[in-house]
Structures are given as structure tokens and as C-alpha cells.
Structure 1
Amino acid sequence: MKYKRHFYNRVPNTALILALIILFFIKIILYILVKNRMIGFSLGGGSDANYYNAYAQGYVDVAVSIWPVILRYLNSIDLYSREFISYIFLLLNLLVIPIIVARLAGIRLSTNQKYYFYIFLICLLYPTLYFFSFDVYRDVFMVLCFLIGCLVVKAALTTNHSLKFISLFLVSLAIGWFLAALRPYLGVAFIGALFLWNIKFTKRRVFTLSILYLLALFIANYIGVFDAITEYREGFDQLEAGTTLGLDFSNPILFIPNFILSALGQLFGLYIANPLSLVILIVETIPFFFMLKYVIKNIKWADSFVRFLIIFFILYASIWLIGNDNLGTAVRLRMHNYFAIYISFFYILRLKSQFLREQRL
């Protein structure tokens, strides 16, 4: 079998290491400048962090998720510091999350140096994850919890011992419940994927399942399953906050076209509202798109863990694409979708590379 070297295999490791070092220090310097107010920086939804901080200090008593409750608990035992937590998030962004992603993909520095460097590069280039490490937003924490949950799921699906599988599965359910406490539909999608990971995928079946899934969504919407979600979506237009797609999901006949447009605009970032959205499209979405294309093309390599990630991707995206109409919020919500594909891409890439090396021996 002839082995084809892709462009990413031709890039020397020294170039990747140099890029990582430069990017690493640029992000640290920029972080320090922003923290010391030497550079102006603001995010849509910045009030989130102010609200979490106010709740932690007891100025607000209504908790919208478990995250502010955690912060208040830390404050009650004198371990809360808005600045310190933001620096922890920076550490998670620069080191911890890339290491976990590499482990989930089965990529080790000792055996797959180039892919390991690429994982770090992809994670460090991810602007949204970096943006929300500047304050006590829950987004970076949720990504961390999701990835830890994936570690437990991977251990459960790759073990041959029944008792260990049951134990790890129960831990996975507990993590899913915790994710639901952070963001309800994130936990629901995670738990749903735990029970649906055994669905087998082939190229032909992917097309058939996609049609059936869209049909199921249409029926569910028609009978009112998504009424609460679509009503929540309408609130974005009423508030007139941020940039919205303005899609009307109240007409059940137009549900599928609107769902597809919502996916194109929010998941794939094709609604260009300002220069920042164009930058995010280039840096975030284009790499994601090619990785997603690769995963679909090589879907036969998907084992139980990759199937779990794909099922999660579909379930989670389906919910928030129906319920969200704010493009600023979309870049936060889709982080879990993007990381699921990052992991799947490098996981399959590793399996294929290993297989091709064995064929050449």
C-alpha cells in the first residue's frame, strides 16, 4: 500500500516548536497587558463574569447554574479570588486542556511528536477558549469538565472488565449530571451519548442516518417537543442584544431549512457580522471544517469512543442550534462540538498512521 505524505507531515518539528513557543509567549504577554489595562479588551456577555463575581461575594442570591454556587463556596472558605481563578483558566488554556486533548486522542509526545505539537497548536490558536480565560466565566471550566468526562468514558469503553466498565459508566453518568448543572443541554447530550455510542457508522449509513435524524427532528418539533427551546430562542430578538440570525422557528414547515441555516451561521460561522467574526471563521471554523470532513470520510475507523464523541456532537449541536440565536453566544456553545471533532480527528489520524506503518513493515 502506497503511503501518501500529507502537507502536515512535511512541516518540520522545529518549525512547530518555534511556532508554539512564539504563540505561548504572545498569549502570556497579551494576557498581562489586558489584565493591567494597558490594552482595551471586552467581550459580548461580559456581564456574565460580573454576575458570577457578585454572586460569589453574596451580592446576588439567584443562581442560574452550579458555577456561581461553586464560586460562593470557594469564597466561604477564603479560597475565592477573581484574579487568581482567571490565571488558573489561563494555565488550563495553555497547558492542561491541550494535554488532555492529546491523551484523549491517544497521542503521546514520545511516539507521535508531530501530532502532539499540532494538538497544542490547534488548542493554543483557539481564540474563544483564550478570550474566556480572562475572567470567571464558566466556559473554560465547562470545557475542562467535559474533557475529564470524556477521559472517564474512554476508560469505560476500552476496558475488558465488566465491573470496571459499570463503575466507570456510573462515574460518567455523575459527570453528565454535573455538566447538566453547569449547562442543562450539555449534560443531556453527554448522558444521551452514553446510551447511544453503540450505533455503527459507515459512509452510506451516515447519509441515511442524517436524513432520518432530520426527519425525527422535524416530527419532534411538529408535535411540540421543542416548544420551550424555540420560545427561548425568540427571546433573543425581543431583547435585541448582540447579533442574531433572525430565523423564525415558529413555522414547523420551515423548521428543517431554518435548522440548516442556523447550523451554517452558528456552527460553521458563515454569518459574517464584523471583522472579528471573519477572523474567528478563519482561525476556528476552517480547521474544524476540514477535520470534520476528514472524520466523515474516514468514519469506518470510528471505534466506540469516537462514536460516543460523534453522537455527543450531534445531540449537543441539535439542541443549541434550535435554542440559540445569538452569534456571540454561538462561539461559546460550539466549543464542545469543536473539541469533540479535534479529538476524533487526531484519534483516527493516529489509527490510520499506525495501520499504514504496519503495512509498510
Structure 2
Amino acid sequence: MERNKIYRISLVYQLLFLEYSLLTIGIYFFSKSKGMNGITLPFAGGGDDGFFYWRQVESFLNGGQIIDTSIYPSLISRIVAFVGFSDVFVVRIFNFFGFLLLVWGATLLLRRLSKSESINKRFDITMLLYTNTMLVIFLMFYLSLLTTVTLSIYRDVWIYFFYILSIYLMNEIMLNQRTQMIFLLVPSLYFLGGFRTYALVAFLIATALIIFMQSDRNHMKYIVMAIIAFSFYYTFFIDFQVPIVNMSLRNALDFRQIGLETNMGGSNMNINLNQPNIFLFFLNYMYSFLGNLVGPFPWGINSFTQIMVFVMESIPMIAILIYLVINRKRLTKNEILTLTYSLVWMGFIALSNDNIGTATRLRATGWIPMVVVFISVINRKIFKSKNYQMEILPDSNQRK
């Protein structure tokens, strides 16, 4: 019986990898047939980030300079040069490997969160089957993840991987006293910052917040303190240049507003965060936070693609968030830690992004750990109930 369950776990992952590999290969050859060099599909146009990345590869191979917006252009350029095959397919295979690592990282985190001494060990394999099947179903039908990994040669899958890997390692270090994991955490954070700088900043701020929260059970006190501290910062130090990102908050808000004014696309939320006082800022910021977290909202939908995102992503995620709020008292320390990293990330993209299309790509960094927490909570609730029933049945039989 247990061997059969392990086989079924293996089978669901094979189906997941088959789906993503077929889409990656199919889109590559269709793109080649349409004269897009295998980079993306024709409807994406020349503005797709994949074209920029491939131009850097070609420049490097021809002895030119690379525009290093992150470590990604240099990395893929050197990989293509090392392989000796100047084709986009090399980058697609590299990113598919990143997807495999992302799935591995998600299963590691899920396994860590799902562990509970109160659950009867005879249910361990069954629970493993249930949790992994739920994770695979989520990844198979997560529309924005599918498009991000397979549609073009974006760097995002590597950000997803290193963020979730870093969360797993912090769980091990902070809550399970496995301090040796810091030797894996340091390179993970290095690559996370290399692929996206403010992802590293978000992770470090979330870590600091968790440390403060662990020192006192009154979490609301720290939330209030954080709001007061940010209000003070917004009012008096909005022009302060933040290290690592080398940008002030005003610079970030100005940059966001310029993008809003110059790219008046149909998927913009049109939320202006550059406000004269902190009260108006918070009001608009909360709307931006919710929009980036679970948007698009029904009143802002203006395309078939947004309808698909709303049905396949927004509605399920709203249901997941409601479930987590209702069951918040069931959350373990590991799950609270994981959710903190997810929500702080969402807070960061709410500051910088106003576009729903971009939000669907960015929020996966926080969504995937959040869904892992949901799977852990719902399965633990189910199996605790089953475990309880199995434990009382022998007593009932004895009484008979």
C-alpha cells in the first residue's frame, strides 16, 4: 500500500514536469516558425524582456558589452558561450532547470511545515501524498507561473526559487536550531540579491521583523511600531538614499508615477502613491497592496486575459486568504514565519508596481510560499481529525 502511494506521488510530479517541458518546447518551435528566434510568442511583441536578455547574449558572444540589470544577462551569456550552441533553447533549458529547483524548494518547505509530532505516523505517507498532490495541482494550473516559465526567457523563476529556498533555510535556522544551514543561506541570499536586489531587501526586512516578533508575543505592538516608524520615515526622511538599492523612497515613488503616466495601459491600476501626506499615502497604498495581492478586481477587468487571471488566480487566492484568516490560531511558528516573508514581499511590490500584468509575475514570489502554508494547514486539520478517530476506535471496540 505504501509503495503504491509513493508511486502515485512520483506520477503526479512526472505529469507536472511533462506539462511544463511540452509547453517550453512547443512555444520555442512555434516562436521559431514565426521568426521570433524561439524567444517568445508573436503577440508579445518586441517589448518582451526576453528580447533584451537575448540581445545581451548576442553582444557578449560578439565581444561586446553586457547591460547588467542583474546577474542574469551575464549568467546566461556565459552559459551559452560555454555550451557552444548559440540558440535561445539553451536559455530555455537553463530556466526549466530553475523550475525543477523551484518545485524541489517548494516540496522542501511543504515537508518542513507539514511535520507534526501529534499526527500518527501511520498517516505519514498518506499525508505526503495529499500535500504533494495539492501542490502539483496548484503548480499545474497556476496560469501566471506557467506563462512566466514557458512563454519567454524571463529571470523570474530563479527569484522564486532562491526566495523560497531562503525561507526554508530560515525556518531551519531560526525555529529548528540547524545553524549549519547558514552556509547554504548566505549563497542563496547572494543569488537572490543578484537576480533582484529589492527581493533581498524585502527578505532582510522580513527577517528583522520576525526577530522582533519572536522576542514578544504581542505582535500587534510591533505592527503599530512599524506603522509609526514608517510614517516618521515618510514624513521626514523620504529623500534618504537607502543602501543596497541606492534609491530614496521619493525616487521610487517618482519612478513609479512616471511609469504610470507614460504607460497608460489597460492593465494599470492607476494608483498614485506620491501623496502630500501619510494618510493619503496609506489609503492608496492599501489599495495597491490588495491589487497586487489578488488583483484584478471585477471593476478593473478590461480584457479576456484579465478575466482568466481573475477566475483562475484571484478567486482561488481570495478563498485561500479567507481560510488562513479563519484558521489563524492553527498556524504554527514555521507557518507564521513563512507568511511573514510572503506578506513583506507583497508590501514591497505594492510600493513599486501599478500594473496588473507585472503584478501577476512578481507576486508569485510570495504566492507560492503562501499556498504551501495553506496546504500544510488544511491537511494538518484533516489528518488530526483522522488521527483522533483512529485513536478512539480501539477503545470503542473494547467496550463492545
Contact 2:289–2:350, Cα closer than 8 Å, also in 1: yes
**Residues 144-174 of structure 1 deviation map (CA, whole Å, 9 limit, x = unaligned):** 22222223223223434xxx41x32354244
In structure 2, the partner of 1:183 is: 196
Matches within 5 A, 1:271-290: 271-290=300-319
CA RMSD of aligned residues (A): 3.6
2:280 maps to a residue whose letter is L
Aligned partner of residue 197 in structure 1, secondary structure: helix
Does 1:332 find its partner at 2:358? no
Q: Is the 8 A contact 2:95 2:149 kept in 1?
A: yes
Is 1:35 aligned with 2:28? yes
Amino acid in the other structure paired with 1:273: N
Q: How far, CA to CA, are the matches of 1:171 and 1:27 in structure 2? A: 28
- How far is 1:126 from its partner? 0.9
Contact 1:176–1:191 (Cα < 8 Å) also in 2: no
Instruction: State the identity %.
Output: 18
Q: How many residues align?
A: 343
User: Are 1:55 and 1:72, in contact at CA under 8 Å, matched by a contact in 2?
Assistant: yes
Confirm whether residue 314 of structure 1 aligns to residue 375 of structure 2: no
Residue 255 of structure 1 pairs with residue 277 of structure 2: no
TM-aligned CA deviation for residue 99 of structure 1:
4.3
- State which of 170, 173, 195 in structure 2 corresponds to 1:153: 170
| Structure 2 residue aligned with 1:53 | 54
CA distance in 1, matches of 2:306, 2:174: 38
1:126 aligned to which of 142, 145, 148 = 142
Unaligned runs of 5+ in 2: 1-7, 35-40, 115-123, 239-248, 392-400
Residue of structure 1 equivalent to 2:71 = 66
User: Shift in Å at residue 191 of structure 1?
Assistant: 2.0
Inter-partner Cα distance in structure 2 for 1:22 and 1:77: 31
Flag structure 1 segments of 5+ consecutive residues without an equivalent: 1-14
TM-score (norm 2): 0.73
Residue 82 in structure 1 maps to residue 98 in structure 2: no
Find the counterpart in structure 2 of residue 268 from structure 1. Answer: 294
Q: 3-state DSSP class of the match of 1:137? A: coil
How big is the shift at 1:334? 0.6
Q: How far apart in 2 are the matches of 1:291 and 1:44?
A: 35
Q: Distance in 1 between matches of 2:329 and 2:83?
A: 51
| Matched letter for residue 370 of structure 2 | I
Residue identity matched to 1:255: F
Counterparts of 1:168-317 in structure 2, within 5 Å, are 168-169=181-182, 171-198=184-211, 199=213, 213-225=226-238, 226-240=249-263, 242=265, 243-251=267-275, 252=277, 253-269=279-295, 270=297, 271-317=300-346
Deviation of 1:230 after TM superposition, in Å, equals 0.7
Work out the CA distance in 1 between the residues paired with 2:293 and 2:65.
33
SS at match of 1:77: helix
Q: Partner of 1:143 in structure 2?
A: 160
Distance 1:41 1:317, change over 3 A: same
Q: CA deviation at 1:102?
A: 2.9
Is the Cα–Cα contact under 8 Å of residues 146 and 179 in structure 1 kept in the other structure?
yes
- Does the 8 Å CA contact 1:109/1:116 hold for their aligned counterparts? no
Structure-2 separation of matches of 1:350 and 1:206:
26
